């Protein structure tokens, strides 16, 4: 028996909705459009011929759960998370146009809304559904071990809606890196499988942003756009370099405008046994390469490979097929888009944090702001959202939230850490004894930072992470931790984890131990611009907990934990139940000292947090 069509509402009736989604939804047998929502009544009127049976609505909040199976959210970027989150929390599944959200705070809010509503967030670029990307992926077994990937999408002239929301960072979240780069980042798992990006560096520029010649004429104009040549405060070009846990390097370039003749997307995969190159044009620009080409280079021979022709935009039809399949199995689909979103946002945030452009020297638009904050680590928009740092005080207000470090505080990971470090050292450096004692003095920092401090090869990270995953089942919780977490939950004290580990590895470990759901958020050092002892990771945790720093404490077993807490304005509490040298921790004068996990409960009753005593 054929299932009835899925009832779809479309929120936001701009170019993407009317040019991409509505025509395809109307033609697809698995969907029927039942509602159109936009605050602009003229847009609703103009869109109704594409879905004559749909209910016209003035607000996405009017979309009803009882007659909607899915909402396609195609509003401007800054509204993605608020609109999608409200729908998800009401139990309505959504598909969100890229970029799914602008930062990790919005990603966390979407995750919470999906969990609260029992709904499903669907997302992802249609680029991974392209037939030529599939043909490239089919070549991967012939290439041997993947060593490097080139990803670029360069337009000749394609600055979208110059002067409108697309080029205003507060609304878009960024420029070409967010707009074009999200598509490129979304095809990385197709080429590499699940992986972590451990290193990110980049540079951005804005030479074409104020030039009318750089605008995307094919996108047309709208009521929220300015005349050609209007300035914005985002980049039109981003160039960067990424490295994965496995040591695969990735060069990344996105350009809204350039000196090229055509709009070209290039994907090249270099392996130990050969190289494959796809030259095509993503998206809908009419200034595209005439037809995609795919070549295989091996042993000095270059072989052109056949590619089937397909209509522009056919990948979106396949994406609708995939959406229907995922909604048929919601339990399997739930949470998948959030993880992919967090990965992309993490890369983009770290890219911008490293870019540090100088306004005039980099051709930045007059009146625009380079993507920098304190020491170039944060955008101005992000700086406005995060709590203002406060100096830690001997006496504090009542504790309303707790941020835990992970290793040495919640889990006894030192034996496994020692074994993983020794194996990685032997593989990369040599058979001599691994300097674990020196390594342990830097715990709390991000692994690549420790390698740099110790003068060890960064290539150690790959085998160290591999072995850490392999040995994760041998990592126990400290005695007293489960009871502590249960009591904190019973008292409605929200909790977070801020760790030197990568975020995916930390969440995987806590999930395996059965306590991941105890925490509002779990943040790794790879998910903030600066790792400990900088305050970034604590500030992000507090923003997700929605608790001011003066009402929170950070529990850590390393000096870097205490420094990060103080820089953020939170209480710095030393956890001494692991086998560590107490001297340096006590010398750092923490606000309180705990020798057993349950001693934390004694701090929750009084209004003041007592000073530590040796």
Q: Between vectors from CA 293 to CA 292 and to CA 299, what angle results, nearest 5°?
A: 160
The answer to whether the beta carbons of residues 355 and 202 sit under 8 Å apart is: yes
- Tell me the C-alpha distance between 112 and 345, whole Å: 17
Q: What is the domain-level CATH number for residue 72?
A: 3.40.50.720
**Of 439, 459, 474, which closes a domain?**
474
Q: Does some domain include residue 589?
A: yes
**Of 366, 382, 398, which closes a domain?**
382
Chain centroid offset of residue 118 CA = 22
- Tell me the C-alpha distance between 481 and 576, whole Å: 13
**Of 431, 458, 474, which closes a domain?**
474
pLDDT tens digits for 142-179?
999 999 999 999 999 888 875 578 888 888 999 999 99
pLDDT tens digits for 219-277?
444 334 444 444 578 899 999 999 998 999 999 999 999 999 999 999 999 999 999 99
Do 435 and 502 fall into the same domain? no
Q: Does some domain include residue 609?
A: no
DSSP codes, 419-446: HHHHHHHHHHT-SSPP-HHHHHTTBTB-
Who wins on pLDDT, 425 or 396? 425
Do 180 and 64 fall into the same domain? no
- 292: pLDDT confidence band, cut at 50, 70 and 90? very high
Least-confidence region, from 215-224, 369-378, 562-571:
369-378
Predicted confidence at residue 382, as pLDDT, reads 35
Do 79 and 179 fall into the same domain? no
The terminus-to-terminus CA distance of the chain in angstroms comes to 73
Q: Does some domain include residue 456?
A: yes
Do 430 and 326 fall into the same domain? no
Q: Does 367 have pLDDT greater than 50?
A: no
Q: C-alpha distances in angstroms, 401 versus 98, 495, 565? A: 33, 6, 13
Do 239 and 371 fall into the same domain? yes
Predicted confidence at residue 90, as pLDDT, reads 93
Do 363 and 490 fall into the same domain? no
Do 443 and 303 fall into the same domain? no
Do 391 and 357 fall into the same domain? no
Domain span at residue 44 reads: 6-124+318-343
Predicted confidence at residue 162, as pLDDT, reads 58
Q: Does some domain include residue 95?
A: yes
| Greatest pairwise CA separation for the chain in angstroms | 75
Q: Does some domain include residue 339?
A: yes
Number of structural domains the chain divides into:
4
Q: Does some domain include residue 613?
A: no
Do 137 and 33 fall into the same domain? no
Q: What is the pTM of this model?
A: 0.61
Predicted confidence at residue 212, as pLDDT, reads 56
Predicted confidence at residue 613, as pLDDT, reads 35
Q: Does some domain include residue 168?
A: yes
Do 161 and 258 fall into the same domain? yes
Do 228 and 156 fall into the same domain? yes
Q: Does 345 have pLDDT greater than 90?
A: yes
Predicted confidence at residue 470, as pLDDT, reads 86
pLDDT tens digits for 203-221?
999 888 866 556 654 444 4
Who wins on pLDDT, 393 or 495? 495
Q: What is the domain-level CATH number for residue 534?
A: 3.40.50.1000
- Tell me the C-alpha distance between 348 and 274, whole Å: 30
Q: Does some domain include residue 239?
A: yes
Do 362 and 337 fall into the same domain? no
């Amino acid at each position: 028996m054929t299932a009835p069509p899925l009832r779809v509402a479309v929120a936001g009736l701009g170019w993407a909705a009317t040019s991409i989604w509505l025509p395809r939804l109307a033609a697809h047998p698995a969907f029927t459009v039942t509602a159109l929502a936009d605050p602009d009544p003229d847009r609703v009127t103009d869109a109704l011929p594409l879905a004559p049976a749909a209910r016209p609505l003035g607000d996405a909040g009017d979309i009803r759960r009882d007659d909607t199976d899915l909402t396609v959210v195609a509003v401007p970027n800054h509204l993605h998370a608020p609109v999608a989150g409200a729908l998800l929390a009401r139990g309505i599944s959504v598909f969100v146009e890229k970029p799914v959200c602008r930062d990790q705070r919005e990603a966390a809010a979407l995750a919470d809304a999906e969990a609260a509503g029992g709904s499903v967030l669907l997302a992802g670029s249609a680029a991974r559904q392209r037939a030529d990307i599939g043909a490239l992926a089919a070549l991967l077994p012939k290439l041997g071990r993947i060593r490097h990937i080139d990803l670029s999408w360069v337009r000749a002239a394609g600055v979208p809606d110059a002067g409108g929301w697309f080029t205003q960072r507060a609304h878009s979240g960024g420029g070409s890196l967010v707009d074009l780069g999200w598509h490129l980042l979304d095809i990385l798992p197709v080429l590499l499988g699940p992986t972590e990006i451990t290193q990110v560096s980049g540079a951005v520029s804005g030479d074409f942003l104020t030039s009318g010649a750089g605008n995307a004429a094919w996108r047309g104009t709208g009521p929220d756009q300015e005349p050609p040549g209007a300035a914005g405060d985002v980049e039109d070009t981003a160039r960067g370099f990424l490295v994965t846990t496995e040591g695969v390097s990735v060069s990344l370039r996105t350009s809204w405008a350039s000196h090229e003749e055509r709009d070209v997307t290039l994907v090249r995969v270099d392996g130990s046994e050969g190289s494959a190159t796809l030259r095509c044009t993503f998206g809908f620009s009419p200034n595209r390469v005439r037809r995609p080409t795919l070549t295989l280079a091996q042993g000095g021979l270059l072989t052109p490979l056949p590619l089937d022709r397909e209509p522009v935009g056919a990948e979106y039809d396949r994406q609708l097929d995939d959406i229907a399949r995922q909604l048929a199995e919601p339990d399997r689909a739930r949470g998948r888009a959030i993880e992919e979103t967090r990965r992309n946002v993490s890369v983009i945030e770290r890219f911008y944090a490293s870019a540090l452009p100088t306004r005039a020297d980099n051709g930045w638009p007059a009146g625009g702001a380079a993507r920098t904050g304190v020491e170039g680590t944060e955008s101005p928009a992000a700086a406005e959202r995060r709590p203002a740092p406060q100096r830690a005080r001997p006496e504090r207000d009542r504790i309303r939230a707790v941020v835990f470090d992970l290793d040495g505080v919640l889990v006894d990971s030192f034996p496994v850490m020692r074994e993983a470090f020794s194996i990685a050292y032997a593989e990369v450096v040599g058979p001599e004894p691994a300097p674990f004692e020196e390594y342990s003095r830097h715990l709390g920092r991000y692994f690549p930072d420790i390698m740099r401090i110790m003068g060890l090869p960064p290539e150690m990270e790959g085998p160290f992470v591999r072995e850490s995953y392999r040995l994760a089942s041998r990592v126990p919780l400290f005695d007293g931790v489960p009871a502590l977490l249960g009591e904190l939950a019973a008292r409605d004290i929200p909790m977070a984890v801020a760790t030197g580990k990568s975020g995916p590895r930390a969440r995987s470990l806590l999930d395996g131990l059965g306590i991941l759901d105890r925490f509002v958020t779990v943040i790794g050092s790879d998910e903030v611009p600066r790792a400990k002892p900088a305050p970034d990771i604590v500030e992000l945790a507090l923003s997700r907990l929605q608790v001011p720093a003066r009402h929170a404490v950070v529990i850590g077993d390393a000096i870097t934990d205490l420094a990060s807490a103080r820089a953020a304005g939170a209480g710095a509490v030393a956890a001494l139940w692991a086998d560590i040298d107490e001297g340096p921790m006590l010398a750092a004068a923490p606000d309180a000292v705990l020798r057993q996990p349950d001693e934390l409960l004694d701090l929750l009753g009084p209004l003041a947090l007592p000073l530590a005593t040796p």
